[in-house]
Amino acid sequence: MYLFLYLPLVVVVAYSFNQSRLGAEWTGFTLHWYQVLFADAEMMRAAWNSLVIGLVASVSATVFGTLAGLALHKFRLRLLPVLIVTPLAIPDILWGVSLLVFFVLLNLTLGMLSVILAHVAFCISYVAVVIRARLSGMDESLVEAARDLGATAWGSFRFVTLPLMAPGIIAGALLAFTMSIDDFVITFFTAGVGTTTLPLKIYTMIKVTVTPEINAVSTLLMVLTMLLVLAIARLSPQIPSGKP
Amino acid sequence: MSAPTKVILLAMLALFSCAATAADVLRIYNWNNYIAPETLERFETECKCRVSYDTYGSNEELLAKIAAGATGYDLLVPTGNAVESLIKQHALLPLDKRKLPNLGNIGAAYLDRFFDPGNVYSVPYAYTVTLIGYNEQKLHQLGIPTNTWAAIFEPRYLRKLKGRVTVLDDPRELMAAALLYLGYSVNDPNETHWREAAGVIMRAKKYWAAFNNTSYIRLIAAGDIWLAQGYSNDFFQAGLEARKAGKNFTIGSVIPEQGAVLSLDSMVIPRHAPRPDLAYRFVNFMLAGSNSAELTNLIGSGNPNVAALPYIKPAIAATAAIFPDRQTLARLEQLRDLTRRQRQLLNRLWTEIKLY
Amino acid sequence: MRRLLVWPPQAYLIAFFLVPTLIMVASSFAWPGEEGGLSSFWVRDAQGIHFDLTFDNYRDIFTSRLFLVLFARSLGYAGLTTASCLLAAYPLALVIARSAGKYRNLLLLMVIVPFWTNFLIRIYALMIILGPQAALARILNALLDWVGLTPVSLLFSPFAVLVGMVYIYLPFMVLPLYANLEKHDPDLLDAARDLGAGSWQRFWRITFPLSLPGVMAGSALVFIPALGAFAVPDILGGTRGIMIGNVIKMQFLEARDWPFGSALSIMLTLLALVVTGLAAWLARRKVGAGV
């Protein structure tokens, strides 16, 4: 399974060192595309924008989504379930266009803020669905026991419910980040002057050939995230898990 | 507050503030990679301003974004038919020609076109021709003529090329090619002729490998496909690539005898541009031959600027598919913007074409 | 408590989802503007202001066989994608959930990291892997040749679309499954083993039923977006790859007919909600109220 996941990435990395401009054929090893990349301020800025938007949006969406997931688990609601599920189904392009029309009506200047607002909106549902799947069938007696032992509402939430949810929160946040960093359609419509993200850069390369510079920036990001992941895994104390 | 949160907040602050404080910024909204980096840098030094360069991938994306009300850009570079639509929407600023002394550099063949009579709103930037690119050895070996759209549409040729042909994934471009093949104009308004063209496409479709806008360049340079409908600058790139990879074939491209589509991209200034003054300076700057030539040298695009010719690499200037002679030029047509009714019909035909 | 949980996400989604999309829902009853965009919902004349609306967009959808075929095809692909993702993701999620604590988060991250590389870049890489010059196609065609069949093209085929879709949507199945499987109590399985249940029986009788909420969540997160997919079929589908998502995108771009695009979008959304609602109801009925 990991092979299926990583095989295309091996190709991406390999072609970032390929001399061929079109990537049609292996023509020899080069570091040329990394030089091009480091000289390309626009591309670096786009990668940076993507990271900032991804981080801010996924953290905010995780907060909103966790609340929503808890609410869906605890109460019988009418409106919220509809508001959580429908965004998954609505075509991106409709949502992107309508957000743009909406922001223009509000007279909001398009930029980082409008993109982040939009990203949080489409990430909430994914987090909420994962959290709900985590909580469903969860043993409520633990919370009751804590309350019986004199824990406050906040205390039982902080020390019982939250640790129980932790793997769900992590999984949800990862999904949200994945959605945000890869979105093109909604970002295209809500982006303003200077808010070009990496996907915008890449998708608009249609008229002009996609060069291996893109592979280089992808490889760099991949290495960066891998290092980050390894560092977190090594340094942080065990991330709380649901199991005792 | 933890350290990482602080870093993120500071970074965000820095981002927002630098976007807000830079006083002299020209905001260009253009195709990706559609300007040489050195040209951009030189302009920034010359006008002592910063350029923000955002990109779109198609005219339709640009039009949708403008129609929804997006503003804030100082300069757009749409293709002729999109310029026509923007003019109809009263979205553009009429140009003050006194601020564009270099306008005389543009060749007469590219001025005063139907989409903007008298060039009230637009100044030509670069062009490309939609034509046929092919693997010269393979097509010669199979005995298939290459100077006609028949190579793409006639089953008797396609039978020998099954699965080795791609066409553009663009309803306007493909229909235009089919109309030309049938002997009509690319802007023929007759619905019966459109249906006839759709029929030609349906009949040929089963022999094609794909509708493709992006990867045919790579596929043809690798030898995976032998014949493609595509853009002149892309085939130029594919040819260079195949030679560099030491392939035992060469890639040719030709403007078919029935004619072809010329897509002329023009610089326009939106009516509500925040800094038209900088936009004017940029337009005039790009009209200088040496600046304009850099784009052609970078991607092999066609150049409407006569003063640019001396600066263009000889290999590009000698390519007939990029710089056609006068007779060939007369056979090229630009696409007109469609009416609402025509768009609906084309959309319906295209859905049918791609469904079965 | 209740208000604190419900209102922040609810208010946010009302502001940035419900209100904007309702503008477009309303527009699905309007006429398209001559140059695209939205035309006015009402006209003002001597008699005052009156609404200028139409049901034409919906009538067009229901009277044309074209769109029914498209919806059916999208349903088929989305269903196949969901099933394949489930088959591929379940063992993976189970392995991760059951691995020792210190490896668990690492393995989980290893699943998600590939998806932080841009979608288009991954699809292009997949194109190279499926391409006629790559090992995969060569081996397959050598085999086919050996058996006496004609060689096939892997790229630009329904098979390529399916592989692409599974590759893109896999994490949306793995993560909810993992979040659910991770909380299962190993004692239950031990008890079953002590009672003489085989490993297969333990899976079907205990693990799988308990994981159904995860399966449902993952299936929803794959099926619903896959129903509206357009980029994968566009790039990998060859000449017959069109789905309803492509046609919707076309209305907003090439056709500049936003009202019709909105009407199609609403039908697609309703279809997705009805199918998932039905599936959830069936699952609940089969397993009983416990899940």
Q: Tens digits of per-residue pLDDT, A106-137?
A: 998 899 999 999 999 999 999 999 898 888 86
The CATH number of residue A51's host domain is 1.10.3720.10
Closest approach of B315 to chain C, Cα-based (Å): 30
The pair of structure tokens assigned to C7 is 């209102």
From C113, C124, C175, residue closest to A171, measured CB to CB: C175
Closest chain B residue to the Cα of C39, Cα to Cα: B67
- CA-to-CA dists, residue C263 to A190, B288, C272, angstroms: 22, 49, 14
In this prediction, residues C180-193 reach a mean pLDDT of 83
Task: Determine contact: C68 vs chain B, CB below 8 A.
Answer: no
**Would C153 be classed as within a structural domain?**
yes
Task: Determine contact: C243 vs chain B, CB below 8 A.
Answer: no
- Per-residue pLDDT of C153-183, as tens digits, reads 778 888 889 999 999 999 889 989 998 888 8
Task: Determine contact: C204 vs chain B, CB below 8 A.
Answer: no
Q: Are residues B121 and B170 in the same domain?
A: no
Evaluate if residue B3 carries a pLDDT over 70. Answer: no
DSSP state of A23: -
Q: Are residues B176 and B256 in the same domain?
A: yes
Q: Are residues C46 and C105 in the same domain?
A: no
The rounded distance, in Å, linking the Cα atoms of B54 and C112 is: 29
pLDDT tier, B130 (very low <50, low <70, confident <90, very high otherwise):
very high
Helix C158-181 / helix A112-135 crossing angle, nearest 10 deg: 60
Q: What is the residue range of C20's domain?
A: 1-54
**Would C42 be classed as within a structural domain?**
yes
Closest chain A residue to the Cα of C87, Cα to Cα: A1
Task: Determine contact: C171 vs chain B, CB below 8 A.
Answer: no
From A24, A104, A193, residue closest to B54, measured CB to CB: A193
Q: A154-178 burial, b if ≥16 CB within 10 A, otherwise e?
A: eebbeebbeebbbbbbbbbbbbbbb
Query: What pLDDT, on a 0 to 100 scale, did the predictor assign at position B214?
Result: 79
> Do A206 and B53 count as a contact with CB atoms less than 8 A apart?
no
> Do A204 and B57 count as a contact with CB atoms less than 8 A apart?
yes
The rounded distance, in Å, linking the Cα atoms of B275 and B18 is: 18
**Would A73 be classed as within a structural domain?**
yes
- With a CB cutoff of 8 Å and minimum separation 6, the contacts of C87 are none
> Do A100 and B65 count as a contact with CB atoms less than 8 A apart?
yes
Query: What pLDDT, on a 0 to 100 scale, did the predictor assign at position A38?
Result: 85
pLDDT tier, A206 (very low <50, low <70, confident <90, very high otherwise):
low
Amino acid C249 reads K
The pair of structure tokens assigned to B205 is 């479709």
Residues paired with residue B264 on neighbouring β-strands, in sequence order: B127
Classify the C-alpha dihedral A185-A45-A9-B241 as positive or negative: positive
Task: Determine contact: B52 vs chain A, CB below 8 A.
Answer: yes
The CATH number of residue C177's host domain is 1.10.3720.10
DSSP state of A196: -
**Would B16 be classed as within a structural domain?**
no
Percent of chain C scoring above 70 in pLDDT:
92
Q: What is the residue range of B87's domain?
A: 23-127+263-323
Q: Residue B3: its chain A contacts at CB < 8 A? A: none
Closest chain C residue to the Cα of A136, Cα to Cα: C213
- What pTM did the predictor assign? 0.88
> Do C66 and B355 count as a contact with CB atoms less than 8 A apart?
yes
Rounded to the nearest integer, the mean pLDDT of chain C is 84
Find which of B241, B249, B295 to mutate to test the A interface (most A CBs within 10 Å of its CB). B241
Closest approach of C249 to chain A, Cα-based (Å): 6
Amino acid A145 reads A
pLDDT tier, A23 (very low <50, low <70, confident <90, very high otherwise):
low
The rounded distance, in Å, linking the Cα atoms of C246 and B1 is: 46
Sheet holding B50-56, edge to edge: B50-56, B25-31, B75-76
Q: Residue B61: its chain C contacts at CB < 8 A? A: 253
Decide which of C24 and B125 is more confident: B125
Find which of B207, B217, B351 to mutate to test the C interface (most C CBs within 10 Å of its CB). B351
The pair of structure tokens assigned to C189 is 């399985």
Q: Tokens 């079109």 correspond to what residue?
A: A22
At residue C254, what are phi and psi to the nearest 5 degrees? -55, -45
Q: Are residues C104 and C41 in the same domain?
A: no
Task: Determine contact: B340 vs chain C, CB below 8 A.
Answer: yes
Q: Are residues B194 and B268 in the same domain?
A: no
The rounded distance, in Å, linking the Cα atoms of A4 and C84 is: 13
The CATH number of residue B221's host domain is 3.40.190.10
Q: C31-41 burial, b if ≥16 CB within 10 A, otherwise e?
A: bbbebbbbbee
Instruction: List all residues of chain B from 238 to 257 with a beta carbon under 8 Å from chain A.
Output: 238, 240-242, 244-247
Q: Are residues C32 and C83 in the same domain?
A: no
Q: Residue C153: its chain B contacts at CB < 8 A? A: 163, 209
Closest chain C residue to the Cα of B70, Cα to Cα: C37
Closest approach of A81 to chain B, Cα-based (Å): 30
**Would C9 be classed as within a structural domain?**
yes
Task: Determine contact: B22 vs chain A, CB below 8 A.
Answer: no
From B19, B73, B241, residue closest to A20, measured CB to CB: B241
Evaluate if residue C200 carries a pLDDT over 70. Answer: yes
Q: What is the residue range of A87's domain?
A: 44-211
> Do C122 and A124 count as a contact with CB atoms less than 8 A apart?
no
Query: What pLDDT, on a 0 to 100 scale, did the predictor assign at position A241?
Result: 45
Instruction: List all residues of chain A from 142 to 181 with a beta carbon under 8 Å from chain B.
Output: none
Evaluate if residue C241 carries a pLDDT over 80. Answer: no
The pair of structure tokens assigned to C179 is 């979040």
**Would A170 be classed as within a structural domain?**
yes
**Would A154 be classed as within a structural domain?**
yes
Closest chain A residue to the Cα of C185, Cα to Cα: A243
Q: Contact B179/B193 with Cβ under 8 angstroms?
A: yes
Evaluate if residue A66 carries a pLDDT over 50. Answer: yes
Query: What pLDDT, on a 0 to 100 scale, did the predictor assign at position A207?
Result: 54
Closest chain A residue to the Cα of B29, Cα to Cα: A193
From C36, C37, C242, residue closest to B354, measured CB to CB: C242
pLDDT tier, C185 (very low <50, low <70, confident <90, very high otherwise):
confident
Q: Are residues B165 and B155 in the same domain?
A: yes
**Minimum mean pLDDT range among A138-147, B142-151, C161-170:** A138-147
Find which of A53, A92, A106, A193 to mutate to test the B interface (most B CBs within 10 Å of its CB). A193
**Would C60 be classed as within a structural domain?**
no
Q: Residue B340: its chain C contacts at CB < 8 A? A: 32, 34, 256-257
**Would B268 be classed as within a structural domain?**
yes
The rounded distance, in Å, linking the Cα atoms of C236 and C243 is: 12
Q: Are residues C209 and C278 in the same domain?
A: yes
Task: Determine contact: B222 vs chain C, CB below 8 A.
Answer: yes
Query: What pLDDT, on a 0 to 100 scale, did the predictor assign at position A242?
Result: 42
Evaluate if residue B5 carries a pLDDT over 60. Answer: no
Q: Chains with ≥3 Cβ pairs under 8 A against C? A: A, B
pLDDT tier, B17 (very low <50, low <70, confident <90, very high otherwise):
very low
Task: Determine contact: C244 vs chain B, CB below 8 A.
Answer: no
- Number of domains present in the structure of chain A: 1
Q: Are residues B41 and B73 in the same domain?
A: yes
From B58, B210, B223, residue closest to C238, measured CB to CB: B210
The rounded distance, in Å, linking the Cα atoms of C223 and C81 is: 7
Task: Determine contact: B320 vs chain A, CB below 8 A.
Answer: no
The pair of structure tokens assigned to B251 is 């890639």
R_g (Cα) of chain C, nearest Å = 24
The rounded distance, in Å, linking the Cα atoms of A3 and C167 is: 12
**Would C61 be classed as within a structural domain?**
no
Helix (H) or strand (E) holding A76: none
Q: Are residues C72 and C2 in the same domain?
A: no
Q: Are residues C180 and C250 in the same domain?
A: yes
Find which of A1, A93, A102 to mutate to test the C interface (most C CBs within 10 Å of its CB). A93
Closest approach of A90 to chain C, Cα-based (Å): 5
The rounded distance, in Å, linking the Cα atoms of C195 and C189 is: 10
CB-based burial label for C26 (10 Å; 0-12, 13-18, 19+): middle
The rounded distance, in Å, linking the Cα atoms of B143 and B160 is: 10
CB pairs under 8 A between A and B: 124
The size of chain B, in residues, is: 356
In this prediction, residues A160-174 reach a mean pLDDT of 86
The pair of structure tokens assigned to C135 is 């090992």
The rounded distance, in Å, linking the Cα atoms of B102 and C164 is: 50
Query: What pLDDT, on a 0 to 100 scale, did the predictor assign at position B18?
Result: 45
Q: Tokens 């075509």 correspond to what residue?
A: A91
Q: Tokens 């006569």 correspond to what residue?
A: B306
**Would B1 be classed as within a structural domain?**
no
The rounded distance, in Å, linking the Cα atoms of B262 and B129 is: 5
Closest approach of B192 to chain A, Cα-based (Å): 32
> Do B12 and A56 count as a contact with CB atoms less than 8 A apart?
yes
The rounded distance, in Å, linking the Cα atoms of B143 and B158 is: 12
Q: Residue C124: its chain B contacts at CB < 8 A? A: 215
Q: ipTM strictly over 0.90?
A: no
- Per-residue pLDDT of B152-210, as tens digits, reads 999 999 999 998 999 999 999 999 999 999 999 999 999 999 999 999 999 999 999 98
Q: Contact A193/B27 with Cβ under 8 angstroms?
A: yes
Task: Determine contact: B171 vs chain C, CB below 8 A.
Answer: yes
Closest CA to C163 of C249, C77, C239: C77
Q: Are residues B40 and B84 in the same domain?
A: yes
> Do A67 and C4 count as a contact with CB atoms less than 8 A apart?
yes
Residues paired with residue C51 on neighbouring β-strands, in sequence order: C42
Query: What pLDDT, on a 0 to 100 scale, did the predictor assign at position C43?
Result: 64
The size of chain A, in residues, is: 244
The rounded distance, in Å, linking the Cα atoms of A99 and A93 is: 10
**Would B12 be classed as within a structural domain?**
no
Rounded to the nearest integer, the mean pLDDT of chain B is 90
Task: Determine contact: C268 vs chain A, CB below 8 A.
Answer: yes
The DSSP line for A119-147 is HHHHHHHHHHHHHHHHHTT--THHHHHHH
Evaluate if residue A41 carries a pLDDT over 90. Answer: no
Task: Determine contact: C131 vs chain B, CB below 8 A.
Answer: yes
Evaluate if residue A57 carries a pLDDT over 90. Answer: yes
| C147 HSE (CA, 13 A, CB side) | 8
Q: Are residues B132 and B223 in the same domain?
A: yes
- Number of domains present in the structure of chain C: 2
In this prediction, residues C109-122 reach a mean pLDDT of 84
> Do B343 and C251 count as a contact with CB atoms less than 8 A apart?
no
**Would C245 be classed as within a structural domain?**
yes
Q: Are residues B122 and B137 in the same domain?
A: no
- Number of domains present in the structure of chain B: 2
Evaluate if residue C226 carries a pLDDT over 50. Answer: yes
Query: What pLDDT, on a 0 to 100 scale, did the predictor assign at position A10?
Result: 86
SS3 sequence of chain B: CCHHHHHHHHHHHHHHHHHHHCCCEEEEEEECCCCCHHHHHHHHHHHCCEEEEEEECCHHHHHHHHHCCCCCCCEECCEHHHHHHHHHCCCECCCCHHHCHHHHHECHHHCCCCCCHHHCCCEEEEEEEEEEEEEHHHHHHHCCCCCCCHHHHCHHHHHHHCCCEEECCCHHHHHHHHHHHCCCCCCCCCHHHHHHHHHHHHHHHCCCCEECCCCHHHHHHHCCCCEEEEEHHHHHHHHHHHHHCCCCCCEEEECCCCCEEEEEEEEECECCCCCHHHHHHHHHHHHCHHHHHHHHHHHCCECCEHHHHHHCCHHHHCCCCCCCCHHHHHCEECCCCCCHHHHHHHHHHHHHHHHC
> Do B57 and A201 count as a contact with CB atoms less than 8 A apart?
no
Instruction: List all residues of chain A from 141 to 160 with a beta carbon under 8 Å from chain C.
Output: 153
The rounded distance, in Å, linking the Cα atoms of C238 and A40 is: 34
